[in-house]
A and B are shown apart, each in its own frame.
Chain A
């Protein structure tokens, strides 16, 4: 400490306001999380009071909680702001992710009671509480600026999901899914934790900006360089697993297929959103100084994920598995934007995430609306003649599939155009990302259109898939997702501006 600083310490009258600030905890930075935590307690209590016939109120309560969380997100602090001594971000990206994750969660929750009543399982308060906990964990992961917070958030959303995957009683596949997810995910978490430990060991801090500062100064040279690289590698394995990138994708189809469909939807949408946001904060933020080291990793991951995900999807007979592989493939497209590592890539990734959330959620909701008591209705042949029996469901599915296929004027098209654009802008070898993306997009159209063909063109099936019409809550979810997908495709500008604003601070 320099002499002048010591002098200053003695001479300056300590500012009262400054002092207050030091001891102050910025509770406001985590408003959405507080609200949802409160909601969890309320739901657990309400379960005790509510009569058996009124249990659907739990879903409404959860929905309201999540909507309130989205609303509260807009009271977060300004851009570049962080709270809790820089451990948690309260910036535009936090806000964007809050809208995305809590919004998607709210829709999933809204669709749940219909599903459970149809398959004849009573969804008790545990279900909603676990869902809310998982959703909160996802958002916390997206806003963490510290390895410790990051890890706690990771566990906060992973643990409820293990339970939720095996939530259905008497479902062998469900239990298998839960167990498989637990086992494999724990491995991945362990890898990640080891990687974090190494990064901490190298840099001496768990703060993202501290680690970034270390790397800016030292790079990966010196004695610790090799440790940093091993840490980066292990961290990447964990990330790749969580985002279901090839070759760490093996769990995805089994878990997606075995889990109750609303849980699958949350896994497909929420987990991916959280991890991608974390990707942005960790790779293009914290690890930016050593981008030459991680860019090749993400580059390769993106290419194999696009190729394998799409190729595997081609031969699937179960729509849920097909969408699982499609989710893997979509992870590949998202990674393209991250690998290109330019501002268009980051903005494109966020926009893509928005459209991915809407279209994937829409597709899963249609499956959910068709599922029978014993999990039937997942086979592609179940969609035969759907356009005749349920034209609305068929239309929603078609919009979502076209968007997943990247056909304008849907949201998916702009998502793809932006991330491919970022690869093209990066130039050189990155052009390969765009070309592989294009080639695999054509493959993707094969399997997405297979479902469309079944719905509209395959022989006349008189089989009634589902008796009756979907309930109003389900209809609401279907409307929001399909109209959102179309609107985002036609009025892409504002959403893109928002995404742009949200990642502006990263560079």
Chain B
């Protein structure tokens, strides 16, 4: 495809890591390292957009840009990356969210170079996950996400509970992924053709997997699903999530909620549904029920929260539940909606967390009760919050609507009950979003007003720089979701075949 032989994908994947090394080597002061990481992320984002534009006409439905390097032959393990239009979208999203994260990481308390380096390393891990087409290679990138996230939560987390949250995150994730590792190895050895070599190549395995008997396939699928369900997270494996989201500093929360949760849903799609079509069918009802449980549980928990960041964490749980529901509707509409929603959620959630941080920086609290009645003081921030809350509750014309609509439509085709219960989730989302908005912006001022509030400012120009593009994307994707779906539609059909 490309004229010159540049390993484009590897370039995108490893460029952030190179940036991380550079930051560690240069040991720049706060401001310089900030700008280096921003510019670096911008370059990565630009290349990722360039990659995405190759798919813009929607004609490519399979993998492109594949690269391969031999790694460990006896296990059939290679360094192998390739992207189809779904991956290309998610890579662009990752680069975008990472850019937003880098941009929002202005003042870091202590060892800022390390912080930014870990953040960039995390980006490399996530990009690798979205591009890997060899199972063990996928696993390696999957684990590479773990360590940066662990340090980012545990070292730069907000309260004393941060270390506990970090450890809990690691343990949950590791249990899932080690099961996946065993399943991968089993898959490689069980599918060796007579006289052949074991392979972990996604496409080769896709050919070979038909030879496995049904129950084996189902066991392997479950092991994979465990890993993905933890990452999403899917009820009842979500216990690590609210803490981790709430504890993390904002740039990290943005990446965790914005794109890392998508590695789970992407895993379900690429290594669950694509690789194990029959087992997916068998377990679809179970997973759909869990997804519905996530939707309802997340929404109800969000309703009961008194802390803004925790509220957003639970709402994120609810929304990722929709994505999983769409995927396991196992029809074109549902999966299309799910992929669209991965992108939408990846834009809305970071925006919400950013706005929440902008607000809590001004009020000095994340407690909803400590805010109340701020609208007159910060009208512009209030307007921004309104747009974001409306997007989050799925108002038509804003981005989450189209995704949820497609998902519920797809779910309806699978079973009317899914759609009905899912719709309850939408109603609950409206409830908690409006409650959140009301608690923060309306009502009388709290009596014990925080002194800082008197001097509170409305939005600053630098904040427009990040929120305007986010809101523009939210509106654009709300009005014209086909811009996105037309690009990956072909890939979804290929994948579901």
Contacts and interface: CB of A to CB of B under 8 A. Distances in A.
Interface stretch (A244-252, A304-312, A369-377, A445-453): A445-453
Interface in B72-109: 72-75
A417 interface: yes
Contact of A424 (B73, B74, B144, B186): B186
B310 interface: no
A500 B167 contact: no
Interface string A438-450: 1001100110010
Given A414-B72, A493-B73, A453 B167 contact: yes
Contacts of B170: 445, 449
Nearest to A435: B182
B449 to A, nearest CB: 33
A418 B75 CA distance: 8
Contacts of A427: 189
A492 interface: yes
Given A438-B179, A453-B154, A453-B163, A417 B189 contact: no
Contact of B72 (A420, A446, A457, A492): A492
B207 interface: no
B468 interface: no
Interface stretch (A99-107, A143-151, A401-409): A401-409
Nearest to B141: A408
Contacts of B136: 417
A496 B72 contact: yes
Interface in B157-179: 162-163, 166-167, 170-171, 174-175, 178-179
Contacts of B5: none
B74 A347 contact: yes
A459 to B, nearest CB: 9
A438 B178 contact: yes
Given A449-B167, A493-B73, A434 B182 contact: yes
Given A438-B178, A445-B170, A496-B72, 9 more contacts: A407-B146, A408-B139, A409-B144, A421-B185, A424-B182, A425-B189, A449-B150, A453-B167, A457-B154
Interface in B412-465: none
Contact of B189 (A407, A408, A424): A424
B189 A421 contact: yes
4 nearest A-B residue pairs (beta carbon): A438-B178, A408-B140, A424-B185, A421-B185
B64 interface: no
A456 B181 contact: no
Contacts of B151: 456
Interface residues of A, number: 32
A445 B174 contact: yes
Given A407-B146, A456-B154, A417 B167 contact: no
A493 B147 contact: no
Nearest to B172: A442
A493 B174 contact: no
B35 interface: no
B57 interface: no
Interface of A: 344, 347, 402, 407-409, 413-414, 417-418, 420-421, 424-425, 427, 431, 434-435, 438, 441-442, 445-446, 449, 453, 456-458, 492-493, 496, 500
B208 interface: no
Contacts of B171: 442, 445-446
13 contacts: A344-B74, A407-B143, A408-B143, A408-B144, A445-B170, A445-B174, A446-B167, A446-B171, A449-B167, A456-B155, A457-B162, A493-B73, A496-B72
B192 to A, nearest CB: 9
B70 interface: yes
Contacts of A414: 72
B283 interface: no
A493 B154 contact: no
Contacts of B185: 417, 420-421, 424-425, 434
Contacts of B146: 407
A334 B255 CA distance: 38
A214 to B, nearest CB: 33
Contact of A421 (B75, B163, B179): B75
Nearest to B69: A493
A466 to B, nearest CB: 21
A151 B84 CA distance: 61
A457 B163 contact: yes
Contact of B181 (A417, A457, A492): A417
A442 B182 CA distance: 13
A409 B182 CA distance: 17
B263 to A, nearest CB: 15
B154 A442 contact: no
B21 to A, nearest CB: 13
Contacts of A408: 139-140, 143-144
A159 B72 CA distance: 40
B123 to A, nearest CB: 16
A500 B143 contact: no
Interface in B168-206: 170-171, 174-175, 178-179, 181-182, 185-186, 188-189
A362 to B, nearest CB: 17
A297 to B, nearest CB: 24
B152 to A, nearest CB: 11
Which has the most chain B C-beta neighbours within 10 Å: A347, A414, A417, A493? A417
Most chain B CB neighbours (cut-off 10 Å) among A402, A414, A442, A492:
A442
A445 B162 CA distance: 17
Nearest to A490: B71
B72 A493 contact: yes
A493 B69 CA distance: 11
B178 A441 contact: yes
A32 B186 CA distance: 41
A394 to B, nearest CB: 11
Contacts of B71: 492-493
Nearest to B150: A449
Contacts of A417: 75, 136, 181, 185
A207 B146 CA distance: 50
Nearest to B182: A434
A342 B170 CA distance: 33
Contacts of A425: 185, 189
Contacts of A496: 72, 74
Contacts of B139: 408
A407 B147 contact: yes
Contacts of B74: 344, 347, 496, 500
A445 B146 CA distance: 12
Given A438-B179, A446-B167, A457-B163, A413 B154 contact: no
A414 B136 CA distance: 10
B364 to A, nearest CB: 23
Interface string B290-301: 000000000000
Contacts of A421: 75, 185, 188-189
B147 A402 contact: yes
Given A449-B170, A457-B163, A420 B182 contact: yes
A438 B178 CA distance: 6
